A and B are shown apart, each in its own frame.
Chain A
Amino acid sequence: MGYSKVIHVDVVWWFWPLALFIFTLVIGIIAPVSGVGGGVLFVPLATAFFPFHVDFIRGAGLIMALTSALSSAPQLMKRGLANIKLMAPVVVVSMITSVLGGMAGLWITNAFPQGKHYVNIALGIVLFVIFVVMVRSKRVEYPEVKSVDPLTQKLGIRGEWFEPSLDRVVQYQTTNLPIALPAFAAVGFIAGMFGLGAGWANVPVLNLVMGAPIKVATSTSMLIISVNDAAAAWVYLANGAILPVIVIPSVLGITIGARIGARVAARARPRLVRYLVLAIMLLAAVLDIIKGLSGLGVI
């Protein structure tokens, strides 16, 4: 029988995979209800509370985000909500940076004896930034695009979908692609480095900067995540940072939980749950920074 040496408590080998399954199931349920992405919650919380090395947690986080995105993107594309014309120019840039982010994250933990602690601190700081973005950013259902930049014009980034709440087909176009590209580059790097989902940043950029309607922004963000995370996953595969014992319970938990969560969200999305999840995120940020600083012997 195996024993975990990390928490210094004798547990059978299946305790942590089972705990991980329940943990990701809960994340899967509360993510759609709170409007906070499951990928953003998983890595910081698992880093704070589970004994696995951050390399494996980031690898599992990436595969979780990839699986969720792959499962939902096709239906959204068929309905016209996720648009390959909006995704392609963005991902040309962000795919490169997400792979570089994955390489940087693994390099830091392996090249420096204290690398794991630096990554924990950086993760905590990134979480603070995500927290601020989530609290402050507003969502515009149907942004008004007054003028289209020449690059977007040339690429013809536009589309349409049937909106049941309006009972009509809604047409849209976007703008500001040159301004949005550097933002997507930065987001790709962070997503690859920490194994985080990137919806928290993709959606505001697509919606508020490029003028995509909120439904198009959330759907196309899924498509962007599917391509970026798939490319970054190869970095983790090539470094042995994908362990089925961690990945499988996580993917199963989040997949089942997301289905339950989607049904709950269709009925009620209490604000209290969103505030609670944001508070948990803030707590995870603090814990990750404390864990990193105590690992370095600073506190």
Chain B
Amino acid sequence: MREVRVDPVNIRFARVMEILTVVGLLVMIIPAIGYFMGINQFVSLEEAIKHWDEPAHKFWEDMKGMEISGYSWFLNNLSYTDCLSIVGIVILALTPLISLIVSIPKAEKLYKVLLFILAVEFVIAIVRPLFMHVTGH
């Protein structure tokens, strides 16, 4: 019985994705334990339930008096357990991009171009909110 030939680009993509997913899940869950135990919360759990039926922008206005646009709302508050937990989500959301970039050298010529286009699209998706606000208010 012969071995299955799997494209090397698949293998590299999978390995990077596997590692980053574990890291992202750990970074998301470990601070969340502290958050649910009431340690150093940016959004108080007891306050949150009074506003979680409101649209996202109104929730933040009422909870913190802040207008959300971009990523500073959690990046500037990383000393709080809930914001730290969001860093785990950020790692998970970055995982496919990093896997794509790392895989480009292993790809065939045409796929190098395709993966590069995908990476550029991804970066635009990340930076777009920094210069384009779409919440309609």
* A interface list, Cβ under 8 A from B: 1-6, 13-14, 16-17, 51-53, 55-56, 59, 63, 66-67, 70-71, 73-75, 77-80, 82-85, 88-89, 91-92, 95-96, 99, 103, 106-112, 115-116, 154-156, 159-162, 168-169, 226-227, 230-235, 237-248, 251-252
Chain A residue numbers with a CB within 8 Å of B14 are 73-75, 77-78
How many chain B residues sit at the interface, stated as a range, is: 35 or more
25 example contacts (A-B, Cβ-Cβ < 8 A) are as follows A2-B46, A3-B49, A6-B53, A13-B46, A17-B36, A51-B49, A53-B55, A70-B24, A77-B14, A84-B7, A89-B114, A103-B134, A110-B135, A111-B135, A160-B5, A169-B2, A231-B96, A231-B122, A239-B129, A242-B86, A244-B82, A244-B86, A245-B45, A246-B52, A248-B32
Residues A78 and B56 in contact, CB atoms below 8 Å apart: no
Q: Verify B89–A2 contact, CB threshold 8 A.
A: no
B54 CB contacts on chain A under 8 angstroms: 53
Name 17 extra pairs, CB < 8 A, besides A106-B135, A226-B95, A241-B56: A2-B50, A52-B52, A53-B54, A67-B25, A70-B21, A77-B17, A79-B4, A80-B4, A95-B121, A107-B136, A155-B110, A230-B96, A240-B73, A242-B86, A244-B82, A245-B48, A248-B36
Using a CB–CB cutoff of 8 Å, the interface residues on chain B facing chain A are 1-2, 4-7, 9-11, 13-15, 17-18, 21, 24-25, 28-29, 32, 35-36, 43, 45-50, 52-57, 59-60, 68-71, 73-74, 82, 85-86, 89-90, 92-97, 100, 103, 107-108, 110-111, 114-115, 117-118, 121-122, 125-126, 128-130, 134-137
With A227-B118, A230-B95, A238-B70: A106-B126 Cβ-Cβ less than 8 Å: no
Main secondary structure of the interface of A (DSSP, over half): helix
By beta carbon, the residue of chain B nearest A231 is B125
Q: Across the interface, do A73 and B17 meet the contact criterion of CB distance under 8 Å? A: yes
Residue in contact with B6 in the complex, picked from A79, A92, A244, CB distance below 8 Å: A79
